[in-house]
Amino acid sequence: MNVNEPSFRDSVDMMFDRAVAVMDLSPGLKQKIKVCNSTYTVRFGVRLRGAIHTFTGYRSVHSEHMEPVKGGIRYAINVNQDEVEALAALMTYKCALVETPFGGSKGGLCIDPRQYEEHELEQITRRFAYELIKRDLINPAQNVPAPDMGTGEREMAWIVDQYARMNTTDINARACVTGKPLNSGGIHGRVEATGRGVQYALREFFRHPEDVAAARLTGSLAGKRAIVQGLGNVGSHAARFLSAEDGVTVTGIIERDGGLWSEAGLNIPDVLDWMKAHGGVQGFPGATYVPDGASLLEAECDILIPAAMEGVINLTNADRIRAPLIIEAANGPVTAGADAILRKKGVVIIPDMYANAGGVTVSYFEWVKNLSHIRFGRMQRRAEEARHRLLVEELETLSADQGLGWTLNADFKDRYLRGSDELELVRSGLDDTMRIAYQSMREVWHGRNDVDDLRMAAYIVAIGRVAASYRAKGL
Ligand code: GLU
C-alpha cells in the first residue's frame, strides 16, 4: 500500500465530500448524513476445543432515516471498526439509490472461518447473534442483517433460528435477517442476486450508446472481453451469467492463489468445478496460470470486474489499469485516490453503491415476503395462466372457424401460457430496480455540468434522497 493511501473509511468520506460540495444542503445536514450514528463492539467468549476463545464483533448503524436498517455481516480476520463503518455508510447510500426502504448498517466478526469446524462456527454465530439480538441490533423492525464476505445461507439460518428461540411469540421472526435458505424463509434468487444485479447493470449501461462511447467502447455487451477478480458468490455468478447469456468473453480470472488467462475465454463452470476440487485455480487445463494474480488487473480488456474486496485498485496500480470500463461488483474496490487517477484517464466506473445493489434489492423482496407470510406469485400465477389460456384458445377457435390455418408455435405457447413463479418475479423486480436506478444516476451525470462521473452522480442521487427524508420528518 502507498503511504498516501487513505483508509477505506476516509475514501468513502472523500467521495461523499466531493458530491456534497456541489449540493445545496446546510453544513449541519451534510454532517448529520455523513457521520455513522453508532457502532456497537462486542467481545464474547466461546468454549471450543477445551479452551475459551474470545471473539470481537461489530454492528454499525450509519443512518436511521428509515428503519429497519440493513446490511450484511462479514466474517474476516481483518474486520475492524473503520471498515464496518465505511461499509455501513455505503449501505445507506446504496439503499437510497435503489429505493429499498432501509437505513444503512453493517456488521463484522474478526474470524477466519476456514479455521473452524461447522459446529464450532454454529456456536460462534449463535453467540454473536445472541449478543446482537438482545440489543435489538437484529430485529425485523429495526435492524436486518444479511450475508456478506465469509457468510452465507447457513449462517443466516442459524441467526434466524436464534432470534426465533429468543422471541417465541414474534410472528415476524423470519424477517429478522435475509439471505436465508428457502426452508428457513428465504426467497428464490437471493444467492445469485448480487451477480445477477451486476449483469443487469451492464446490460442497462450498454443500452445507452452515449455512455458506452464515454468509456471509449462501441456496440453491445456481446463480444466484450472481461476480467473478473474474485470468484466468490458475486464474481462467480456475474462471470457465469455474462459469459453464458450475454456473449461476454471472460479472458481473465483472479483468485486467491493466482490468476488464469485465456484469449479464447474461460469456461466459468469448468473453472468453478476445478476450484471446488483443487482449492484454487492453479493447474486448470487450457489456460495460462499467472502466479501474480493481481497483475491481471492491469491486463488489457474491455470490462474490469473487481468482485472481491475493498482497496484492490489503489495508488500503487491505478495508473497501469488499462480497462476503459470498471464495474465495482465488490464494495469499495477502488480507493478515492485511484478513483481520481482513473477519472483523469477517462476510465468510466460503474460505482459499487449501484453495481452491487442486487443483493440488498432481493433482500428487500425477501423481507417483504417474510412480513406478508406468502410466497410471491402464489395468488396470481394460475389466474395469469388462465387468462393467457383464454386468449390462446380464442385465437385457435377463430382460426378454425375462419379457416385461417393459424398454428401457434408450441414453444411460444408453452412460454406464453406459463404464469410467473417466484424466481421470475424476483428477477423482474431486480431488473426493473437496476434500470431505474441507473437512469436516475445518468440523468445527473449528463444533466449537470459540474458532474463528470457516475460515482458522483450516484452519491448526489442517494444523498439527495436521504436529505429529503430528514427534511420531511425532521431529525
Ligand atoms: N452484504 C450485501 C451488501 O453489501 C447485502 C446486504 C443486504 O442484503 O442487506 O450489499
Instruction: Specify whether the CB–CB gap between 63 and 466 falls below 8 A.
Output: yes
pLDDT at 185: 98
454: left (phi over 0), alpha (psi -120 to 50) or beta: alpha
Q: Which of 30, 70, 94, 106 is catalytic?
A: 106
359 touches ligand 1 (CB under 6 Å): yes
Q: What is the pLDDT of residues 433-459, one digit of tens each?
A: 999 999 999 999 999 999 999 999 999
Euclidean distance between CA atoms 355 and 349, whole angstroms: 10
8: in domain: no
Same domain, yes or no: 151 and 210: no
Is there a catalytic annotation at residue 106?
yes
Q: Which of 169-183, 347-361, 392-406 has the lowest mean pLDDT?
A: 392-406
The last residue of one of the domains, among 186, 202, 219, is 186
Nearest atom of ligand 1 to the alpha carbon of 179: 8
Q: What is the pLDDT of residues 419-432, one digit of tens each?
A: 999 999 999 999 99
360 touches ligand 1 (CB under 6 Å): yes
Nearest atom of ligand 1 to the alpha carbon of 364: 8
pLDDT at 286: 87
- Mean of pLDDT values over 220-245: 98
71 touches ligand 1 (CB under 6 Å): yes
Same domain, yes or no: 264 and 358: yes
171: in domain: yes
361 touches ligand 1 (CB under 6 Å): no
pLDDT tops 80 at residue 475:
no
Same domain, yes or no: 239 and 376: yes
Euclidean distance between CA atoms 168 and 263, whole angstroms: 57
Same domain, yes or no: 242 and 265: yes
- Helical packing angle, 8-20 and 454-473, nearest 10°: 80
198 alpha carbon – ligand 1 mean position (Å): 14
Instruction: Specify whether the CB–CB gap between 141 and 67 falls below 8 A.
Output: yes
363 touches ligand 1 (CB under 6 Å): yes
Q: What is the pLDDT of residues 87-133, one digit of tens each?
A: 999 999 999 999 999 999 999 999 999 999 999 999 999 999 999 99
Nearest atom of ligand 1 to the alpha carbon of 74: 1
pLDDT at 1: 64
202 alpha carbon – ligand 1 mean position (Å): 19
18: in domain: no
Same domain, yes or no: 161 and 287: no
pLDDT at 44: 98
Euclidean distance between CA atoms 434 and 354, whole angstroms: 8
pLDDT at 2: 74
148 touches ligand 1 (CB under 6 Å): yes
Q: What is the pLDDT of residues 264-298, one digit of tens each?
A: 999 999 999 999 999 999 999 989 999 999 999 99
Report the residue among 83, 85, 91, 192 best suited for mutation to probe ligand 1: largest number of ligand atoms under 8 A from its CB: 91
Nearest atom of ligand 1 to the alpha carbon of 147: 1
Same domain, yes or no: 433 and 301: yes
Q: Do strands 288-290 and 258-261 pair parallel, antiparallel, or not at all (unpaired)?
A: antiparallel
71 alpha carbon – ligand 1 mean position (Å): 5
Q: What is the pLDDT of residues 151-190, one digit of tens each?
A: 999 999 999 999 999 999 999 999 999 999 999 999 999 9
70 touches ligand 1 (CB under 6 Å): yes
Residue 256 lies in domain: 192-380+420-459
pLDDT at 3: 73
pLDDT at 473: 84
142 alpha carbon – ligand 1 mean position (Å): 16
178 touches ligand 1 (CB under 6 Å): yes
Q: What is the pLDDT of residues 191-205, one digit of tens each?
A: 999 999 999 999 999
Instruction: Specify whether the CB–CB gap between 33 and 463 falls below 8 A.
Output: yes
68 touches ligand 1 (CB under 6 Å): no
Long-range own/partner contacts, residues 320-326 (CB < 8 A, 24 or more apart):
321/297, 321/345, 321/347, 322/298, 323/227, 323/347, 324/215, 324/216, 324/217, 324/348, 325/205, 325/215, 325/217, 325/349, 325/350, 326/350
Which CATH number is 236's domain given?
3.40.50.720
Same domain, yes or no: 213 and 323: yes
3: in domain: no
401: in domain: no
Same domain, yes or no: 139 and 211: no
pLDDT at 329: 98
Q: Do strands 69-70 and 103-110 pair parallel, antiparallel, or not at all (unpaired)?
A: parallel
**Averaged confidence pLDDT in the chain:** 97
Euclidean distance between CA atoms 394 and 400, whole angstroms: 10
The last residue of one of the domains, among 186, 208, 229, is 186
149 touches ligand 1 (CB under 6 Å): no
Q: Which residue bears the cell 428487500?
A: 364
Instruction: Specify whether the CB–CB gap between 242 and 250 falls below 8 A.
Output: yes
Report how many domains make up the chain.
Answer: 2
Which CATH number is 65's domain given?
3.40.50.10860
pLDDT at 126: 98
Same domain, yes or no: 198 and 311: yes
Q: Do strands 143-144 and 69-70 pair parallel, antiparallel, or not at all (unpaired)?
A: parallel
pTM of the model: 0.96
Euclidean distance between CA atoms 13 and 284, whole angstroms: 41
72 alpha carbon – ligand 1 mean position (Å): 5
247: in domain: yes
Question: 42: closest CA among 120, 90, 113, 111?
Answer: 111
pLDDT tops 70 at residue 40:
yes
Report the residue among 61, 151, 363 best suited for mutation to probe ligand 1: largest number of ligand atoms under 8 A from its CB: 363
Sorted by sequence, the CB contacts under 8 Å of residue 23 that are 6+ apart come out as: 30, 460, 463, 464, 467
The last residue of one of the domains, among 124, 152, 186, is 186
pLDDT tops 70 at residue 384:
yes
Same domain, yes or no: 205 and 329: yes
Q: Which residue bears the cell 460505482?
A: 351
Nearest atom of ligand 1 to the alpha carbon of 94: 10
Dihedral of CA atoms 443, 447, 450, 452 in degrees, nearest 10, equals: 50
Instruction: Specify whether the CB–CB gap between 352 and 312 falls below 8 A.
Output: no
283: in domain: yes
Q: What is the pLDDT of residues 51-85, one digit of tens each?
A: 999 999 999 999 999 999 999 999 999 999 999 99
Measure Cα distances from 317 to 11, 284, 310, 339 in Å: 16, 27, 14, 11
pLDDT band at 407 (very low <50, low <70, confident <90, very high): confident
259: in domain: yes
Same domain, yes or no: 254 and 273: yes
Cell readout for 412 is 411460444
Same domain, yes or no: 104 and 141: yes
